[in-house]
Amino acid sequence: MTRRLPRTAIIGAGISGLTAGKMLKDYGVGYTTFESSDRIGGNWAFGNPNGHSSAYRSLHIDTSRQRLCFKDFPMPSDYPAFPHHSQIKTYLDDYAAAFGLLENIEFGNGVEHAARAGDGWDITDQAGDVRRFDLLVVANGHHWDPRWPSFPGTFSGAQIHSHQYIDPRTPLDLYGKRILIVGLGNSAADIAVEVSSRSLDNTVTLSTRSSGWIVPKYIAGKPGDTMWRTTPYLPLSWQRKAIQLAAPVMGIDPQLYGLPAANHKLFEAHPTQSVELPLRLGSGDVIPKPNVARLDGETVWFEDDTSGEFDVIIYATGYNITFPFFDPDFISAPDNHIPLYKRMFLPGIQNLAFIGFAQSVPTLFPFVECQSRLLAAYAIGRYALPAVAEMQRVIAADEQLYTGHCTDRARHTQQVDYFHYEHQLRTREIPEGMKRASA
C-alpha cells in the first residue's frame, strides 16, 4: 500500500524555510510556505518590511563563504571571503530560483495561529483563513525578537537595540554623540567600530558583562574558519582544550586591549570575531568598561564604580526565541531553552519539526541543509523517531555534549558543533532511523 505523503506547512521563508522546502520538493512532498514579508531571506533581507532582519547597512557575514554555502549550491567564486549581506541575499534569491522554490511561497501571508487538530494542524493565516495540514515545520528564525537587559534606574537619553541599527544616521543621528554600546558580540563589535570613526566626532564606550575572547577573521592570510575543523573521532572536550592551550599566543585575550578579563575559557561562550575592534580599543577610539551597574539620567554607572555621561545607549544584547503563532502554554522557549531531539523534534509531538534553531559553530547554512535532509526522510516515512524516553535521554546527552561546558546564558542554550552534528546524523542517526522505519 502506498503511503500518503503529508500535506506540509512551513512557517518562514528565510534560509531555514527555503532549505526545508527545497528538500521536501526533492522528495516529492507537497508543501506551502507561509511568509509574512513580500520577499525571501528573513534575517538576510536588509530592510525586511516584516521587521525580521537584523542586518545593518555595512554588515558582512562572519563566516567565510567556503564554510557558509550550501553543499548542493556553491557560492559564486567571485564572492569575497566574507560576503556583504546584499550578496547573501542575492545568493538566496539565486538558490530559490534555481530550485523553483518561489511557487510554493505565499508572500504577505504569515501564520497568525497554529493549533493541533486531531492528527494534524489548523493553520490560521494572515488572510483569516483556517487550513488543515498534516505536518508543521517551524522555521521562523531566532534573530528578530530583541532581548533587552534590565538595569536599575532610568536613562534620559535615546536607547535602541542593535536590531534597529541601520547606519550612523538611521534610526538616530549618531554624529557628535556620547555613545554607550552594551554587549560584546559580533554586532556590538561591528557597530562600535563603525560609530567610533573619528570622522563622526563621537565618544564611544563599550560595556561588557562577561567580556569575551576576540578572534581574528584571518589566520596566516586565510579565513580562520577554513584553517581548522573539529573531528568526530576525538572528544570535543579534548579539541576545545587544545585550542585553549594555544590561546595565550593567539593575541585574543580581551585584557590585551583594555577590556575586563573574560569570565570563561575560550569556547565556553561564543568568541567575538573582529579584526578592527582591537585596533579601535588600542587607539583609544573605543573606551572599554565593565558591566552597567545603574542608570541615572544621562549618567551611567559601571561595576568598577566609574561613570560616564551619554546621549545614546545601543543594546547589542541578543535575541529571544519566540513563537508568536503558538499558544504560550503550548510551546515556548523560556530563557531561549527548548529541548529538541537533534535540535528538530519535540518529544511526544510526531507531526512537528523545527529547522534552524541552533547556534551552529562554525556554520549555519550547511547545518540547516542536513537538518532538512532528515526532515524530508521523515516526511516520506523513510526515517522514524525513537520512543519518547529515548528522545529525552538523547536530548540530555546532546545538551551536555554541546552546551555543558558553556556559561549559563540564554545565548548558549542551543549551541552545536556542526561537524560533529552532521557526522552523527549521517553515519548513525539516519541509518538507525531507517531501521526503525522498516521495523
Degrees (nearest 5) of the Cα angle 404, 365, 359? 20
Is residue 31 domain-shared with residue 108, that is, in the same domain? yes
Q: Which of 293, 315, 337 is the last residue of a domain?
A: 315
Q: What does the pLDDT read at residue 277?
A: 97
State yes or no: pLDDT of 224 exceeds 90: no
Higher pLDDT, 270 or 170: 170
State yes or no: pLDDT of 407 exceeds 90: no
Q: What does the pLDDT read at residue 2?
A: 58
Q: What does the pLDDT read at residue 382?
A: 97
Q: Is residue 3 part of a domain?
A: no
Is residue 140 domain-shared with residue 199, that is, in the same domain? no
Is residue 102 domain-shared with residue 214, that is, in the same domain? no
Is residue 201 domain-shared with residue 114, that is, in the same domain? no
Burial-class residue 296 by CB neighbours within 10 Å (0-12, 13-18, 19+). Answer: middle
* For range 10-22, the mean pLDDT: 98
**Cα separation, 89 vs 77, whole angstroms:** 16
Residue 226 contacts residue 189 (beta carbons within 8 Å):
no
Domain membership of residue 303 as a residue range: 149-315
Is residue 376 domain-shared with residue 307, that is, in the same domain? no
Strand order in the sheet with 153-155: 153-155, 292-297, 299-302, 307-309
Is residue 180 domain-shared with residue 247, that is, in the same domain? yes
Q: Domain tally for the chain?
A: 2
Q: Is residue 386 part of a domain?
A: yes
Degrees (nearest 5) of the Cα angle 108, 112, 113? 145
Higher pLDDT, 406 or 188: 188
Is residue 111 domain-shared with residue 163, that is, in the same domain? no
Q: What is the largest CA-CA distance in the chain?
A: 74
% of the chain with per-residue pLDDT over 90: 88
Q: What is the pLDDT of residues 35-91, one digit of tens each?
A: 999 999 999 999 999 999 999 999 999 999 999 999 999 999 999 999 999 999 999
Q: What is the pLDDT of residues 301-353, one digit of tens each?
A: 999 999 999 999 999 999 999 999 999 899 999 999 999 999 999 999 999 99
Least confident of 158-162, 173-177, 332-336: 332-336
**Backbone phi and psi for residue 11, each to the nearest 5 degrees, phi listed first:** -100, 110
Q: Is residue 302 part of a domain?
A: yes
Is residue 178 domain-shared with residue 294, that is, in the same domain? yes
Q: Is residue 2 part of a domain?
A: no
Question: How many alpha carbons fall within 13 Å on the CB side of residue 24?
Answer: 26
Tell me the one-letter amino acid at 391: M
* Residue of 67, 89, 65 lying closest to 78 (CA atoms): 65
Residue 306 contacts residue 290 (beta carbons within 8 Å):
no
* Residue of 207, 226, 275 lying closest to 419 (CA atoms): 226
Q: What cell numbers appear for 182 in the block? A: 552594551
Q: What cell numbers appear for 47 in the block? A: 530592510
Q: Is residue 336 part of a domain?
A: yes
Q: What does the pLDDT read at residue 408?
A: 83
H-type alpha helices, 111-222: 186-195
Is residue 226 domain-shared with residue 268, that is, in the same domain? yes
Looking up residue 358, the CATH number of its domain turns out to be 3.50.50.60
Is residue 278 domain-shared with residue 162, that is, in the same domain? yes
Mapping DSSP to helix (H, G, I), strand (E, B) and coil, where does residue 143 land? Answer: coil
DSSP state of 262: P
| Global confidence as pTM | 0.95
Confidence band of 410 (pLDDT split at 50, 70, 90): confident
Q: How would you classify the pairing of strands 105-107 and 31-35?
A: parallel
Is residue 324 domain-shared with residue 311, that is, in the same domain? no
Residue 314 contacts residue 179 (beta carbons within 8 Å):
yes
Q: If DSSP states are collapsed to H, E and C, what string results for 49-107?
A: CCCCCCCCCCCECCCCHHHHCECCECCCCCCCCCCEHHHHHHHHHHHHHHCCCHHHEEE
Q: What does the pLDDT read at residue 1?
A: 46
Q: How confident is the prediction for the chain on average, in pLDDT?
A: 95
DSSP state of 176: S
Q: What cell numbers appear for 242 in the block? A: 587544545
**Cα separation, 163 vs 178, whole angstroms:** 20
Residues with Cβ within 8 Å of 348's Cβ and at least 6 positions away in sequence, in order, are: 388
Q: What does the pLDDT read at residue 227?
A: 82
108: left (phi over 0), alpha (psi -120 to 50) or beta: left
Is residue 140 domain-shared with residue 189, that is, in the same domain? no
**Cα separation, 213 vs 236, whole angstroms:** 19
12: left (phi over 0), alpha (psi -120 to 50) or beta: left
